[in-house]
Amino acid sequence: MLLLNLLLQIDEDPQKYLLLQSFLPEPPPVRAILGKNIMQAVWEDMKRTLLPSWITPVPHNWGTAKRGKLSADNWLVIFIIHLPITLIRLWGNETGRKHELLANLMHLASASSIVIMHSSREEQILAFGHHIFRYIDGIKKLFPDQRLRPVHHAALHLGDLMDLFGPVHSRSGFFFERYINFFHRINTNQKLGMCSHPSHLRGSKTFFQVKWSQLS
């Protein structure tokens, strides 16, 4: 009964209502950086960009619900090619937060461009370390309410790994995909059960084994 009376008093008195509302946490700020206009500009620039044949083009309507998820390679192409071209064009002369966001993105683009190379040198590792550190430092400043993710931590170690083990492609997922593809391309003659070793070729006789048996 007491609670009901209290609620009635709040409903009747707007000042009490406002006072109570002030205790509620504020809704999260709108974080849309790439709005409709920016995305439209990116898509327009993509149409006018001529890429080498070894780069897989990104879907023309990326970022829409209709297109759905993108592959890791698509995101890489977006971040090192399409976003820098459009955002520097639009925000290159801006000051303030937009410029800081752009600079932060370019640190990520620089780090990504360096880390995907098929060779690694000391100067390259130093440059990567410079850019990835600036990028992650920028996240903390630009989005103070956001917590860093484990992937950010992992990215900071990529320079060390390049120093120890060389370019990243030798231990990335693509490396294993390449070997799966290699196994798919091994020639067989459908003579099952004639191969005992190695285990992944068990059940088929390879072209190389046929050639070897002919020679010996």
Binding stretches for other proteins (CB under 8 A):
44-45, 48-55, 80-81, 84-85, 88-89, 92-93, 103, 106, 109-110, 113-114, 116-119, 121, 123-124, 127, 130, 134, 169, 174, 177-178, 181-182, 185, 187-190, 207, 210-211
Between residues 93 and 216, which has the closer beta carbon with respect to other proteins? 93
CB of 150 to other proteins, least distance (A): 25
Q: Match 């109570």 to its residue by tokens.
A: 20
| CA distance linking residue 207 with residue 215, whole number of Å | 12
| CA distance linking residue 201 with residue 193, whole number of Å | 10
Between residues 10 and 142, which has the closer beta carbon with respect to other proteins? 142
Half-sphere exposure of 205 (CA within 13 A, CB side): 12
Between residues 10 and 90, which has the closer beta carbon with respect to other proteins? 90
Instruction: Map residue 44 onto helix, strand or coil.
Output: helix
Between residues 85 and 156, which has the closer beta carbon with respect to other proteins? 85
Q: Are 87 and 46 in contact, with CB atoms under 8 Å apart? A: no
